[in-house]
Structure formats: C-alpha cells, structure tokens
Amino acid sequence: MERTWWSPAARGFVEAERARTSGWDLDRLDDELHRLVVAQERHVEEDSIVLYAGTNTPNPRLARLLGSSIGSRPNLGSPGDTYNRGMDDGSRISVLANDLLCRLFRCRFAETRVPSGSIANLYAFLATTTPGDRVMAFSDAAAGHPTHHANGAAGLAGLEVHDVAFDVSRMDVDLAGLREQAGRLRPRLIIVAGSMCLFPYDVAGVREIADEVGAYVLYDAAHMGGMIAGGRFQQPLAEGAHLMTGSTYKSFGGPPSGMVLTDSPELAERLDAVAYPGLTANFDLARTAGLALAAMDLIEHGEAYADACLADAIALAAALAAAGVAVYDVPERGHTASQHVAVAAAPHGGDGNELARRLEGANVLASSIGLPLPEGPSGANALRFGTQELARWGMTPADMPAVAALVARVLVSGEDPASVRPDTVALRHQFRTRHFIRS
C-alpha cells in the first residue's frame, strides 16, 4: 500500500494517520468518520476566512439534495428513453437542469452528466480532436490549467500541446503571436482561460485566428461560471467560443461537478456520445438536482452576486496593497476585473505554496498560482485569492481592510500565524448568513 511516488509530506501524513487509527474497531472508526466530517465542515464554514478561489459555500438546501438516495440510481441513456426503467422523475430532473443552464448562459445546449470541470475539458477534447492533433493552451505562467497540458487530460487524450502566445503587459492573448503560431502549427483546438482570470480575454480575436486555420475555440470557465452567469465578466460563447467548459462549484456556487456548453448542434451531438455510451454512462442524479438549484440561485441573484464578488475583489486588492502586500498589478488595467486577486510571492520570502501554508496557520485559506513574473522562480510563484465565498457570507468592500490586515500581519509583519488565528475566527464569526441564494 506504500505509494513511493508521493511526496514525503503526503507519505508522512498517511503513515501518521494509519498509525493513529491502527487497531480501532468499526464502531470507533465510525465515530471518527463522523467526527472528521463535522470538524472539517466547522473549520471551513465557520472558523476560517476562505480566500481559496477554487471553492464556495453552497445553498444549504443543495446539501440536502446531494444526500438523496437518487444519487445511487443509474439513469443510462437519454431522458425518456433510458436503459433502466422507473426513472422518469430522474429524467425530468436532467431536463430541468439542462434547460436552466441554457437559460442562465443563453446557449442552446448544455451537457450536465459531467463529474468535474477537469472531465468537462476531457469531454471537449474528445468532441473536437483525435489523438495526435495539436492543441494550444495557456502555459502554467499564464495560469493554464493542468488538464490543458501534456501531463493532464490533453496528454491522456493523445494531444500535442503548445503554449498560446501571451501578452504579459495586458494579461491577455498576444494575437499577433498567436496568429503566427497557429498558422505554423495548424492546431485543431485553441484553449482560452484557465485557473485564474484577472481580466477578460480577447475571445473574438482568437476566434478570428481559429477560423483562419480551421480550429475550434474552447473557453475554460472553471473559475468564472458565476461571474459569466451574472453578466459581470465576458460572455465567451457570444464572443466566439465554440465550447465553454466549467466547474459548477467555485464561483458558480453549486455541487462538485462540471458542465459543457455550446450553441453548435454538431458539437452537442458529439458531447452526447461522449457522455453515453462513452465516459459517464451512469451519473449522479442527486448532483444534477443540486446543479439545477444552483442555477436557479444564479438566475435570481446572479447579477447582484457577481457585482458583490467584483466589488470585494477590487476593495481587497486595494486594501492589501495599502498594507504592503505585493498585489499583482497590470498597467492601465489595475489589479483585477474579476473575483480573483493575485499576490507575488517572492517579496514575501517564499513561493506561493509556502505563503499559503503560513496563512493556513492563521485560518486564512488560499492557494498558489503561476504568474509571468520577471523575478523569482517559475511555477507556484504567486498566491491566488478569490472573493466569491466572502460575498456569499455577506462581506462587503467595507470589510476588506480587516481581511487584508490578517493577511498582512502574516506576510508583511511576519507575525506568528497562531497569534493571528483568534482574530481570524472572531472576524469570521461576524458573518453567519449566506447571501444570494434562494431560501
């Protein structure tokens, strides 16, 4: 059972846990399982300031839907024509979820049988490419997602991956560079966006180049679903993307799953075949029900929610910079036009992973990211913050200086994170009610 390829930290953690529970009977293990669930929920839902961009707090009614036993019931096939019988109400849930997503994103087709945003990208690859095709994607330094790269889903699909030319001065696609690259490489697919989107990208310009070389355009909205749904970020499909993939938690605020959206009947038919009888076959109907509820939350509250996320991010970036934190800034564009804020790690004496570990000790949760920075190592050379969960808990721009002060005490003043933790918990306990959800 030893996974020698894991990091020393991972192996040490697993070994310690096995030693801790060695010899326990099932009753004690059962008690421990339930204790861990309660403890984990309390830590992230009650006692921490969550700036991690890849998460959110869901509508409490969504959690109850996820606990339904329908999640274990197969529903293979098309709604109303399933392989197994007695699942008509489950099929109706599928139709409802698909129609709500199409309404929310103003598109013709939605594929909801997708267990994650990463698998959504694999769906898109399988629908648009064949093994050996060339694809182009954002590099790690431009916050491209691992699934776009050779060691992720693109590599598993047998694709040859090349970087999209990137204009660091604007944090946008370098269209002139892309045109030269695409003319030479003749890619089958060009992927836009990824793990951090500070500003909208020139999707229309990318589509023009894609048409010149016969390529599809995929916009990965893993982090931007809620902002796009709320109309406060760009609209990738309307601007020319053939496909949009995404996670349905993160800024979307729904269950842990994925989606693929398109206006193309041809691509929708291919995606349908990827789902069944291809990759997904049976899917989680409880998750599909949760997705439908999350979509309704955004249909009703999406504009106000996206406004709150953006206002909090702009205020947080300004407060962090005022406190001496090295907030990433783009000349003439500012710190951000989304729910994301980036912080350069090197000025604070570590890489992004090290800084995230320091903040974790203060119950401020974040993650690392790659940025095209001239100084310091490549890779995880920055921190990525997201304000979607702060907005969901009712924090406003007036509260961002208090959040920024916690970060600065750890990263700028070098305080012991444990001494900061009580103040983090005290601030977090002031916000008990979720906002922008249907009650």
What CATH number is attached to the domain comprising 224?
3.40.640.10
Q: Residue 378: which pLDDT band, with cuts at 50, 70 and 90?
A: low
* End-of-domain residue from the set 252, 274, 296: 296
304: left (phi over 0), alpha (psi -120 to 50) or beta: alpha
Within 8 A by CB and 6+ apart from 68, the residues are 285, 286, 289
* 272 plus 342 within the same structural domain: no
Q: What residue spans of 106-231 are helical by DSSP H?
A: 117-128, 153-156, 175-185, 203-213, 225-229
Report the pLDDT value the prediction gives residue 373, as an integer from 0 to 100.
78
Query: Is residue 104 a contact partner of residue 298, using CB atoms and an 8 Å limit?
Result: yes
* 292 plus 320 within the same structural domain: no
Residue 377 has pLDDT above 60, yes or no: no
* 277 plus 133 within the same structural domain: yes
Residues 43-60: tens digit of each pLDDT: 999 999 999 999 999 999
* Total domain count, the chain: 2
Selection from 263, 227, 257, 230 nearest residue 244 by Cα? 263
396-409 in b/e form (b: 16+ CB < 10 A) is ebebbbbbbbbbbb
* End-of-domain residue from the set 296, 314, 332: 296
Q: Residue 106: which pLDDT band, with cuts at 50, 70 and 90?
A: very high
What CATH number is attached to the domain comprising 308?
3.90.1150.10
How wide is the angle at C-alpha 270 spanned by C-alphas 115 and 109, nearest 5°? 70
* End-of-domain residue from the set 277, 296, 315: 296
* 69 plus 208 within the same structural domain: yes
Pairing of strands 367-369, 382-386: antiparallel
- The C-alpha atoms of residue 56 and residue 164 are separated, in whole angstroms, by 30
The boundaries of the domain holding residue 146 are 60-296
The helix (H) or strand (E) run that includes residue 216 is: strand 216-220
* 250 plus 375 within the same structural domain: no
Residue 191 has pLDDT above 80, yes or no: yes
Report the pLDDT value the prediction gives residue 74, as an integer from 0 to 100.
87
* 339 plus 421 within the same structural domain: yes
- The C-alpha atoms of residue 229 and residue 130 are separated, in whole angstroms, by 31
Residues 321-342: tens digit of each pLDDT: 999 999 999 999 999 999 999 9
Report the pLDDT value the prediction gives residue 1, as an integer from 0 to 100.
59
